[in-house]
Amino acid sequence: MDKHKILRSLIAFLSGALMAVGISVAELTEPQKVLNFLDFGGGWDPSLVFVFIGAIAVHFFAFKYVFKQKKPLFDTKLRIPEVKNITPSLIIGSIIFGLGWGISGYSPESGLTAFVSGDWGPIAFTIAITVGMIAHHFLKPLWEKPKDLIGEDL
């Protein structure tokens, strides 16, 4: 029996909750903030850059630390994406992602954080990403062989 399982669930919950706090403080819950960064026409807002600087400045050291330790504190091994090569899927997927991001102003984390406000924007967005992911699941046999069906490799 894995003695840390409950602890890991609790940590996952806390990580999610803290991320939601960060997303709201950075105002990623406000799609216009993102759009004012992506759209150069009138009132350009560079603050999204600072969100990423803040996040990477902290997370970079976490990777440094955990790579040195070789394993996480409460699990037996690190589960970090191992794919290294730049594939057509990565490029095409990122183009599609970017188009959707620029049309809507939302990304998955902002939709999931903001839909509890009861506003239709993040609710519709969260339903829509679910539909998009399920669509990918059913369409992927068109371009992938079954053995390639792996979930998350960044």
Partner 1 sequence: MLETIFLSLLGGALIGAAASILLVLNGRVASVSGIYYGILQFFKGDFAWRIYFVLGLVFGGLVMFLNFPSLFEPQTDRSLMAISVGGILVGFGSVLGSGCTIGHGVCGLSRKSKRSLTAVVVFLAAGIIAANLYSQF
Task: Return the residues of window 88-117 that contact partner 1 according to CB under 8 A.
Answer: 89-109, 111-117
Q: How many residues bind partner 1 (CB under 8 A)?
A: 116
CA–CA separation, 56 and 62 (whole Å): 10
Radius of gyration of the chain (CA): 18
Using an 8 Å Cβ cutoff, are 27 and 37 in contact? Answer: no
Cβ neighbors of 69 (< 8 A, separation 6 or more) are: none
152 scored as a contact of partner 1 (CB under 8 A): yes
Helix (H, G, I), strand (E, B) or coil at 16: helix
Judged by CB under 8 A, does residue 145 bind partner 1? no
Task: Report the site for partner 1 in 24-83 (rule: CB under 8 A).
Answer: 24-32, 35, 38-41, 45, 47-63, 65-66, 69, 71-75, 77-81, 83
Q: Which is nearer to partner 1, 73 or 141 (CB)?
A: 73
By CB under 8 A, tell whether 16 contacts partner 1: yes
Number of C-beta neighbours around residue 112 at 10 A: 18
148 sits near partner 1 (criterion: CB under 8 A): no
